[in-house]
Amino acid sequence: MTRDELIARLKGYEWTDFECKKARRDVPKDAYSTVCAFANTAGGWLLFGVSEEKGGLKISGVDRDAFDQVHSAFLTTLRSGQKFNQILYAEPHVHEIDDKRILAFFIPESDRHQKPIYLNGNPRDSYIRRAARDERMTNAELQRYFRDAAQNAWDGEGLPGLDVDNNIDAETLGWYQAQFFRRNPEQRQIDDPIEFLQEWNFIVHKNGQPILTRAAVLLFGQDRSVRSLLPRPVLDYQRIDTRFEQWSADERWHDRMVFEENLFKAWRGLVAKYSRIAEHPFKVDPATMRRSDDPPDYIAFREAAINLLIHQDYGDHNRKASLKWFTDRIQFWNPGDAFATPAQLLESNEKEIRNPLIVNAFRRIGLSDQAGTGIRAIFRNWHELGRRPPQIHNDKAGKSFELILSQEPLITETMKRFQANLGVTLSPDQADVLALAAEKHQVSVIDAGTVTGGNLRTAHQALAYLSQQQLLTALDDESYALAEPIRMQLDRTGRDQQRREPTGQVAGQVAGQVAGQVESWVVDVLNACIDPKKSAEIQEVVGIKHRETFQRNYLDYLLEEELLVRTIPDKPRSRMQQYRTTDKGRDLLEKT
């Protein structure tokens, strides 16, 4: 972390990857729970010499005569192997600000085989990082970490007492064998079910006796055998015929299927559901369960759905995978996080996987892309459709993975007109990156990669060109912001009005209303912001979970209507930014 980066962070507040401690003369005890939380989650910065005061961060500095002692004591404790169950390392940085000395340590995420990291020899003294808090792990969370740390994959463990005849579904296994040898004609033909399962490690031997693995039951098991191994559904599919923003969890779905059979049965049932509502009608070959033309929407759906089936944590019996199909998006949610980083997910290479036997079983018959390319295939094919890029939420603390496929276009007609008036020639990739920057105001290389088909090299090139053309401003090597003149021009054009009011309910809620008919959320926000509030606080008032949805559909509209105003108007992206009700907003409140 450079000095400038540190100063920028200090203008904000503590969050998932950033924690401050006063630590003037010694290392505070709670610093070690933060180290533990960072190591168990996604890493983060721990600062000594900074304290929280009145909701902000104040530089107090580490006393100079105690500086070496604090520095040495902290690093020695991390490396001693006594305070923590693993030897930990931290990257130290020293900064002088206002003649005060700050110690900054970067705590990297630990390898999954070392997790959970815990204190004082007690696994129950394990912490994870959520928002700006260090939270002690629950027993269920602790067990998830232990499963992921095991050297032997969960799906490869044998299940004594389960024989093939009474626990394997003959039709499913026969179907799979036919697909396998059609796809792999060079392999030795094995018709006997037991020999076939042994050949591909779905049967292991224990005390000289062949026993089925967990993968064998999940992939080919009879329904009752699957339910015995997995006392919760494989997948909960719901079709909800409304937009996501209009939906409430209390509302009933329009079509639902809870899959409690083996994974190949679940996949075939899911394809049947997809074929009825697919954007491009098609027929599936009943033998191969594949369609001949494989358009981009189907490939993206196939990879996302199979990702849901093959990578989830099946040792987690308390949470089930879900697929929710709204009119404007498809949401895939898994118990179990991805072991890879966001950048690694977009790379075409082998990645650590949770269920190797299950994953390879699907790949051997062509029901998943080549090893390590599935996520990139989703981005690439969704990009071909001109849609807004898929969103990935890889929750390291909650150990869950969510993928969202938006049905909305990335570049609207309004954006096309805006770009045409810039006087700059843009390639399709450059136009897509600029459109994303216009929506988010600030983008990273990873963000740009999501709209260039998952290609980070192309993303770097597009960002460099847009920066050269003064459409974007480089903040550092990895992030860019919309250039201020471009942002102002964009604001003047009233960009993307349709996106700001997708539900048809926001428009007209303020202008030209009859007194007493103002939407309740508008009244709530205006009352709340009599005293300035931060964006996150207003989002809680509205009750919208997704930040981008709240920004686009609610906050931007209130600013446009001059009902709210920024407290720091010349720095709209300031971390200290708050919003207060304007005189126009107060007048509206008096009339309601």
CB 538 within 8 A of CB 528: yes
- What's the CATH fold of domain 413-497? Arc Repressor Mutant, subunit A (1.10.10)
What residues contact residue 122 under an 8 Å CB cut-off, 6+ apart?
none
- Token pair of 161, please? 């007492």
**CA 285 to CA 292: how far, in whole Å?**
8
CB 585 within 8 A of CB 511: no
Sign of CA dihedral 524, 526, 529, 530: negative
Instruction: Tell me the one-letter amino acid at 136.
Output: R
Taking residues 577-586, what's their average pLDDT? Answer: 93
Question: What's the pLDDT score for residue 14?
Answer: 60
pLDDT digits (tens, 9 = 90+) for 109-143: 999 999 999 999 999 999 999 988 899 999 999 99
Question: What's the pLDDT score for residue 492?
Answer: 67
Percent of the chain with pLDDT over 90: 57
**CA 115 to CA 229: how far, in whole Å?**
26
**CA 536 to CA 521: how far, in whole Å?**
15
Question: What's the pLDDT score for residue 86?
Answer: 95
Question: What's the pLDDT score for residue 480?
Answer: 92
Give the architecture-level CATH label for domain 501-591.
Orthogonal Bundle (1.10)
CATH topology identical between 235-389 and 413-497: no
Query: Could you tell me the pTM of the whole model?
Result: 0.77
Higher pLDDT, 354 or 52: 354
Domain extents in the chain: 3-149, 154-229, 235-389, 413-497, 501-591
Element (H, E) at 520: helix 520-528
Check whether 499 has a pLDDT greater than 60: no
Check whether 483 has a pLDDT greater than 90: no
CATH class of the structural domain 235-389? alpha beta
Check whether 52 has a pLDDT greater than 70: yes
pLDDT digits (tens, 9 = 90+) for 6-36: 777 776 666 788 898 998 899 999 999 999 9
- H helical segments located in 11-66: 30-40
CATH class of the structural domain 3-149? alpha beta
Check whether 263 has a pLDDT greater than 70: yes
pLDDT digits (tens, 9 = 90+) for 418-448: 888 888 899 999 999 999 998 888 899 999 9
Enumerate helices (H) and strands (E) in the chain, giving the number of each: 25, 21
Question: What's the pLDDT score for residue 495?
Answer: 38
